[in-house]
Amino acid sequence: MIAGIDHFVLTVRSVEATSAFYQRVLGLKRLDEPNRPTALLFGSQKINLHEVGRTFEPKARTPTTGSGDFCLVAARPLADICGSLEANGVAIEVGPVERTGARGPMMSVYFRDPDGNLVEVSEYRK
């Protein structure tokens, strides 16, 4: 019944800081539209950003910064992602390590965004 994920929402302290981080470190594209949340586009998905105190309805019952924990699939080799993290001063907390994703074995690295959300970026084995 479900084919995939369209988007998810992160509640953030600063849309500007979070957008800049994801654009710089992971190459996501920012989209601003009137009366819509700022979106970070990648592949055929997006992350909507709700700033604390300026959220959109409907929303989670208790939106909280730093409570996100999600996995993104890399479009480039994981080594390129690690290089971008290092070049931008982002500490890798775990990895690269072997994991099992929805499609099978993968290698992953874990790091934190400006709000403390745990971000996993993975590369599926071929």
The catalytic residue positions are 120
Angstrom distances, CA of residue 19 to CA of 31, 97, 102, 113, 123 = 10, 27, 27, 10, 23
Cα–Cα distance for residue pair 5/15, rounded to 1 Å: 22
Angstrom distances, CA of residue 89 to CA of 21, 43, 63, 65, 81 = 11, 25, 28, 21, 12
Phi-psi region of 19 (alpha: psi -120 to 50; beta: other; left: phi over 0): alpha
